[in-house]
Amino acid sequence: MSYKDIQTNASTKALEEFRTYTQDKDTPDRVVEHYRDMRTYQTVEFYERMEKKYSFENGTYRKLMTIEEAFVELENYVDASDPDLDLPNLLHLLQTAEGIRKAQHPDWLQLTGLLHDMGKIMFLWGDANDGQDGYSPNGKQWALGGDTFVVGCRIPDDAVVFPEFNTLNPDMHDARYNTTCGMYEPHCGLDALKFAWGHDEYMYRMLVANNCKLPREALDMIRYHSAYPWHDKGAYTHLMKEEDKERMKWVQLFNKFDLYTKDGENELRGEKMKELWPYYQGLLEKYGLSGKLKW
C-alpha cells in the first residue's frame, strides 16, 4: 500500500489555531501542570514498569470486554492534556472517524479514527501515582494523554512543548540517557524506540494481542499519533531507518483528521451516535475486533 494512493481532504485550517501551549492566561492551568508532570515522571524506569503492568504476555490481561463496553467506560473521560478539546473522548473519536469517512478514505482508516484514543481506558486500572487517574475531576493523567517523546535519550528542546520542563526529568541527569542517542544505536529504527508511555502504546499492544486484522499503517497511526516531536517537528531523524520516512507520512495523514475534526459542529450526540454504531460494528467484525476482547 502506498501513501500516494490516498490524498487527504482534511480541512486546511491552520495547525497553529490548535495546539497552543504557553504558560500564559490562554493555556489552562491543567495543561501546564500535565506537561510539567509528564516531563518529570516519564522515564525509562517508568516505561519499563508500565510495560510489565500492562503486559499481554502468556495470555495475561486485565479485563474482557467488547469495544462497545469500553466506549461506555470512556463516556465521561475528558483529556486533561488537550488545550483545544473539552468534549467527552467518545465524541472526539466519532468526530475523527466521521471526518475520515466523509473524506471517502478506506474503511480501515475510518476504524482507526474510531479506535485511536481508546487506550485511555487504562484509567480503569491506574491511579494518580501512575499518572492514570481518570476518576477524579482533576486527576493526574500524565501517562494517559499528551505529546510523547522518546525516553532514554536527550529530550529535544526545539521539538517539545514546554521545553523549560525538560530539566525536571531525572534521565536528563543520567549519562546513560542524556546524550543525542542515549541508550539507542544510530538509525536503530522507529520500533526500537520507547516513547513516553501512554494510551498510544497500550492500544497498539492491545490490538496486536487480540490479533486484529488492521494493516500496519493503521497500527502505526495508533501507536505514534501522539509523537508530535517526531512526526510534526522532525526530531529523531538520527534514530530512524529509511523505511520510517514512509511510515511517518501515514501518521501525518491521520493527524490532520485527529486535529481538524475538533472544530466541527457538535452534532454527534444522542440518537445520532446510536444511528452510526451499526456501521462501525460492521467494521469491527471485518477487522477481527468484534466480541469480547482482552484489555
DSSP 72: H
CA distance 207 to 222: 10
Question: DSSP H helical segments within the chain, as ranges?
Answer: 29-41, 44-53, 67-74, 89-102, 107-115, 199-209, 216-224, 228-231, 244-260, 270-286
Across-strand partners of 194?
Answer: 151
Report whether 117 belongs to an annotated binding site.
Answer: yes
Q: How far apart are CA 81 and CA 78, in angstroms?
A: 9
Q: Does 235 belong to an annotated binding site?
A: no
Is residue 116 part of an annotated ligand binding site?
Answer: yes
The secondary structure of the chain in percent helix, strand, coil, rounded to multiples of 5, reads 50, 5, 45
Kindly report each contact of residues 64-67 with a partner whose C-beta sits within 8 Å and lies 24 or more positions away, as own/partner.
64/292, 64/293, 64/294, 64/295, 65/292, 65/293, 65/295, 66/290, 66/291, 66/292, 66/293, 67/115, 67/118, 67/284, 67/289, 67/290, 67/293
- Is 105 annotated to bind a ligand? Reply is no
146 is in an annotated binding site: yes
Q: Would the annotation count 34 as a binding residue?
A: no
Known binding residue 238? Answer is no
92 is in an annotated binding site: yes
Tell me the backbone φ, ψ of residue 114, rounded to 5 degrees: -70, -35
User: Residue 55, annotated ligand binder?
Assistant: no
290 is in an annotated binding site: no
Q: With 0-12 CB in 10 A as exposed, 13-18 as middle and 19+ as buried, what is 142?
A: buried
Binding site feature residues for Fe cation: 92, 116-117, 199, 225, 258
Binding site feature residues: 19, 79-81, 92, 116-117, 120, 146-147, 199, 225-226, 258
Binding site feature residues for substrate: 19, 79-81, 120, 146-147, 225-226
